[in-house]
Amino acid sequence: MMHTRRILAMACKDAIDIVKNKQTFIGLLTPFVMGIVFIFLQVLFSGRGITQVYIYDPDHSNISTIVSSVFDKPEIVYARSAVDVTAEFGSDRARTNTPYAMGLIVPAGFEESVRQGQHPQVTVYMDANRMSISQRQTVPGLLMDYANGVVHPVPPITVKQATINPPTESYTFDASTLNTVYPVVAMMFSLYSALFLVPTLLIEEKEKKTIRTLMVSPASFTDIVVGKSLVALGYQLLLTLALFGIVATEERVGNIALLVPFLLLGSGMYLTLGLLLGCIFKTTTAATGVGSGIGSVLILLPAVLAGPFGQLVLGNSALGQVLKVLPTYYIADALYIALLNQSQPGRVLLDAGVLCACIVALFALAVWALRRQATVMAEI
């Protein structure tokens, strides 16, 4: 049974201790440094030329502006007919010398057709040598989201895609790639703050010889775990949300309704893993050392390879399948789905299920380890 007043009292004490501990407090500012680096990189990669988009949209709906937002500096050129767009890219997609990065055909009366449930077809031509893989993955999601804003049947429209100029073997790092990959890497690192913050809160009690007092206090084992977890979760969520406010550009906000729950699930998984480390180790140095090693693998690999870059480099290779053994892969996968506005309910449910199972298992192990330590202390 949990006692709210005891939990809050312990949480307040730990929250004040974190602010007083300069080393820990400086460590919590790391996500803001990553946000500043992101701004610098955006300035560095934003000096690209204008990207032309060829669109046939007789109703001049807002869909043209929304879809072209995947480019840093888009210039919309309106076609006189759908045939002009098809001819520009080639009916057999064999045309290779078009000046346009993307072509879009929106049928006349598009929104009215959506409302009537007629499932109108939108055709998209994409030049793979002028568009990054993240841009090509984002466009269908933007079209579906726009249609869902008009009416809610699923799917409200049909999206026909055609790609010319197959991408070369090399991967081009541009502003679009930066806007997709870097926010996920940065948010994964901000989640990592819970992995060193929770062990620090627990191990400090051991190093200061106050853990025995906690064990014999009126607070239960669950009160102790929940109190310290709330502090770490509160700080970590503030950092993650602040970082997201820095790195999210207007066109890269993504699906907030999906992004926030998975940030909470990611926080919970790192938090429970940190709790387990804090229960196992007796010194802060040992816990942070192991946590740094584990964190590097659990953060960098999934954050970089779970998204468009990993799909291009790994494909369906054995390494790509092995990567899915890491629980944090499912955090990164969900963040990419949210940021790219992809509609993949099957993957979302799988990601959520794996993370929930990991949280429950790690929390149970942490409570068991803390109870075992209490039993040993009682016998001494």
Q: How many domains does the chain have?
A: 2
Q: Same domain, yes or no, for 344 and 213? A: yes
Nearest to residue 221, comparing CAs of 207, 231, 211, 209? 211
- Element containing residue 54 per DSSP (H, E): strand 51-56
Per-residue pLDDT tens over the stretch 57-103: 998 888 888 888 777 778 889 999 999 998 888 765 555 678 888 99
Tell me the per-residue pLDDT of 22-70, one tens digit each, with 9 for 90 and over: 666 676 676 667 667 766 766 665 555 678 899 999 988 888 888 887 7
265 is a domain residue: yes
Indicate whether 234 and 342 sit together in one domain: yes
Last residue of a domain, one of 114, 135, 164: 164
Q: Say which CATH number the domain at 80 has.
A: 3.40.1710
User: pTM of this prediction?
Assistant: 0.65
Q: Are 94 and 164 in contact (CB under 8 A)?
A: yes
Per the structure, the complete domain to which residue 118 belongs is given by 49-164
Task: Establish if 217 belongs to a structural domain.
Answer: yes
Question: CB of 162 within 8 A of CB of 123?
Answer: yes
The string of pLDDT tens digits covering residues 281-316 is: 777 777 666 666 666 677 777 877 777 666 666 656
The residue among 164, 186, 209 that closes a domain is 164
pLDDT digits (tens, 9 = 90+) for 260-270: 888 888 888 88
Q: State the SS3 of 355-376.
A: HHHHHHHHHHHHHHHHHHHHHH
**Three-state DSSP class for 326?**
coil
C-beta of residue 266 within 8 angstroms of C-beta of residue 295: no
